Amino acid sequence: MTNKEIKKDIRRNVISYLKETDKYSAEIELLKSLFQSTEWQQADSIGVTLSMDHEVSTENIIRFALIENKKVYVPNCDYKNKTMDFVRFHSPSDLYKDEKGILAVKHPTEVNNEIDLLLVPGLAFNREGYRVGYGGGYYDRFLSSFKGQTASVILDAQLMKIPVDDFDQPVHKIITEKRIITGVRR
Annotated binding site for substrate: which residue ranges? 50, 55
Count Cα neighbours of 11 within 13 Å in the Cβ-side half-sphere. Answer: 12
Task: Please work out, in degrees rounded to the nearest 5, the angle formed at the alpha carbon of residue 125 by the alpha carbons of 157 and 48.
Answer: 100
DSSP 178: S
CATH code assigned at 44: 3.40.50.10420
pLDDT in tens, 33-59: 999 999 999 999 999 999 988 889 999
Number of separate domains in the chain: 1
Q: Note the pTM of the prediction, 2 decimals.
A: 0.92
- The domain containing residue 143 runs over which residues? 3-182
Annotated binding site: which residue ranges? 7-11, 50, 55, 131-139
Cβ atoms of residues 152 and 174 within 8 Å = yes
pLDDT in tens, 99-131: 888 899 998 889 999 999 999 999 999 999 999
Annotated binding site for ATP: which residue ranges? 7-11, 131-139
Tell me how far apart the 2 most distant CA atoms of the chain are, in Å.
47
CA distance 26 to 28: 5
